[in-house]
Amino acid sequence: MAFIMEKLNIAMLLILVYQQILLSSSKELYQGHQERDEAAENKHKELFKGSSSKPTTPSDKDALEEFYHSTAGPAWLQNAGWLSGDPCQSMWYGIRCTPSGDVVEITLSHNGLAGQLPPKLSEMKNLQILRLYDNYISGILPISMFTIQSLIVLDLDQNQLSGNLPSVISLPYLTNLSLASNQIDGFMPYSWNCPNLQSVSVSSNNMIGPLPSSLSKLPKLKYLDLSDNIFTGPFPPEISALTSLETLLFQRNRGSSGVAPTIPESWHTLVNLKNFQVDGLSGDLPDIFDSWSKLEVLKVTFGQLTGEIPMSLCNLKSLQTLVISNNMITGTLPSCICKLSSTTMTSIDLSSNHLTGHLPDCFGSLHNLTDLTLASNNFSGNLPASLGACSHLNSLYLAYNRFTGSIPYTYAKLELKTLEIQGNKLSTVDDGLEQFFTGISFCSLYDNPWSCPLPTYLSNNTNCNPTCSKCNSLDKHTSCKACVSSSECGWCTEGPNCLEGTNQGPTYEYNCEPSNWIYGIEAACNK
């Protein structure tokens, strides 16, 4: 007996450790679950108040017993009541029943369930809610689960289920289908007959194929998460029928066959979209933002988007996050960008595109801006002085452009945590910025032709690492007084202002491991 107990304890410990690992890797998901948990718990209390008077329907009881055995019931974190007495009458943990003894809910989330789902579960003819997220259930997801006509919520997120989804799903009451973070493969069902379905999440599986146009037959769909699979384009224009859709997530799909999908013009009918996060797109961004007027988050990254930033984007009155990074967008940053909401707008990232021209100097109106990322473009001209009025600004990434001139004194009152402006053509720093620079935790000024001497607080600033014009990449080997070079590394040892050759070692571009640097005037790379 003692031996068995010890084994159980070890199993439990292992489960807890494993859960910790899962938790830390998916905190966001977990928070969502915690909320859902509370809701479920409250529902529980309600139901148990009216604890059923009649004994449980025999077929439900059989199914529960088989379920218990096939998912390691004795090792569950909580299993109070199970297998003793009647499920409904003795209130087995996680079970909810009707007064007539039909089991309508099984909620056993993060409860250490392991093993397989028995097909017998699908014989529970009145089951409405099956919530088993964050367990270790493995094996094939029995297709028969999709025959339980009474199902309203099926939530099997974060298990190890494999197999395919059925090609047809007809569940008249189903509102929420969550199968995220499993190992399900195969295609999306090609036919849906689920008039009440509001939420579908199959993210983080191995599903393949293009999206079936039949998804458009879900009139109440609000939430669709297809991220982290192997789906491919093109996107069906028919999705335009999903006029209730609020969230569409299609990120990191690894499908490589086929061309990157474009956003069909017909999608302008998705007037309730709030959250659109789709990467790997191609073509131009369609000018449809006047119809997507409720948009709060627009994230289109890692694709081949071309064309300019559509003007209609500036009319998004509720936009909070704008990310169009790692694409091939051309043109300038239109000054209408400053007409975005002064209260909601917090984050703009247009990095790694082909944007050119001067930045508009109108950022003062974006009071709540916290992050501005325009790095790796071809912007030129001065740094916008108006940014100094964005008092919530936390990070400013403008690296690898062609900005010239000075860091403006208007930035004096900013309390930046991060400033990256390396790889530009900046040459001076206005007076009065000492305080500003001391507050910055992550600061990169290198690869700019700073006219030295810079103020001492900067020239000795090993956090920011400003480089003198003499160490500027173009002329570092020719005009430097003391230039060290070898076949692997070469850098200037001109003095404290020069990154290449100060005791900070060479810049990243010399490909020298920090542990190999030889510091000081004899600086070299010890390979």
Ligand X SMILES: *[C@@H]1O[C@H](CO)[C@@H](O)[C@H](O)[C@H]1NC(C)=O
Binding site for ligand X (CB under 6 A): 36, 153, 175-176, 198-199, 222-223, 343, 354, 356, 367-368, 378, 380, 392, 456, 460, 496
Phi-psi region of 491 (alpha: psi -120 to 50; beta: other; left: phi over 0): beta
Q: What is the CA radius of gyration of the chain?
A: 29
Considering the complex, what minimum distance in angstroms separates the CB of residue 496 from ligand X?
5
Considering the complex, what minimum distance in angstroms separates the CB of residue 500 from ligand X?
16
Considering the complex, what minimum distance in angstroms separates the CB of residue 489 from ligand X?
22
Query: Which is nearer to ligand X, 64 or 248 (by Cβ)?
Result: 248
**How many Cβ atoms are within 10 Å of 88's Cβ, its own excluded?**
28
Considering the complex, what minimum distance in angstroms separates the CB of residue 222 from ligand X?
5
Query: Which is nearer to ligand X, 223 or 292 (by Cβ)?
Result: 223
Residues 412/432, Cβ–Cβ less than 8 Å: yes
Query: Which is nearer to ligand X, 167 or 462 (by Cβ)?
Result: 462
Residues 526/516, Cβ–Cβ less than 8 Å: yes
**CA angle at 427 for the pair 422 and 428, rounded to the nearest 5°:** 110
Query: Which is nearer to ligand X, 15 or 153 (by Cβ)?
Result: 153
Residues 144/165, Cβ–Cβ less than 8 Å: no
Q: Which of 282, 350, 273, 269 is nearest to 316 (CA)?
A: 273
Considering the complex, what minimum distance in angstroms separates the CB of residue 196 from ligand X?
10
Residues 458/464, Cβ–Cβ less than 8 Å: yes
Query: Which is nearer to ligand X, 248 or 480 (by Cβ)?
Result: 248
- Is the bond preceding 237 in cis, omega lying within 30 degrees of 0? no
Cα 503 from Cα 493, distance rounded (Å): 9
Helices (runs of H) and strands (runs of E) counted in the chain: 5, 34
Q: Are strands 153-155 and 176-178 parallel, antiparallel or unpaired?
A: parallel
Query: Which is nearer to ligand X, 153 or 333 (by Cβ)?
Result: 153
Considering the complex, what minimum distance in angstroms separates the CB of residue 75 from ligand X?
27
DSSP string, 14-69: HHHHHHHHHHHH-HHHHHHHHHHHHHHHHHHHHHHHT--SSPPPHHHHHHHHHHHH
Spatial neighbors of 58 by CB under 8 A, at least 6 apart, are none
Structure-token match 């032709």, residue found: 449
Q: With DSSP H G I counted as helix, E B as strand and the rest as coil, what are the percentages for the chain, rounded to 5?
A: 25, 20, 55
Query: Which is nearer to ligand X, 89 or 198 (by Cβ)?
Result: 198
Considering the complex, what minimum distance in angstroms separates the CB of residue 131 from ligand X?
8
Cα 221 from Cα 38, distance rounded (Å): 24
Give phi and psi for 56, each to the nearest 5.
-65, 140
Considering the complex, what minimum distance in angstroms separates the CB of residue 91 from ligand X?
22
Cα 129 from Cα 106, distance rounded (Å): 6
**At 437, which amino acid appears?**
F
**At 448, which amino acid appears?**
N
Considering the complex, what minimum distance in angstroms separates the CB of residue 110 from ligand X?
15
Query: Which is nearer to ligand X, 269 or 356 (by Cβ)?
Result: 356
Query: Which is nearer to ligand X, 70 or 459 (by Cβ)?
Result: 459
Query: Which is nearer to ligand X, 248 or 512 (by Cβ)?
Result: 248
Considering the complex, what minimum distance in angstroms separates the CB of residue 367 from ligand X?
5
Query: Which is nearer to ligand X, 155 or 349 (by Cβ)?
Result: 155
Considering the complex, what minimum distance in angstroms separates the CB of residue 464 from ligand X?
13
Query: Which is nearer to ligand X, 217 or 367 (by Cβ)?
Result: 367
Considering the complex, what minimum distance in angstroms separates the CB of residue 5 from ligand X?
37
Cα 419 from Cα 464, distance rounded (Å): 9
Closest CB to ligand X belongs to which residue? 199
249's enclosing H/E stretch is strand 247-250
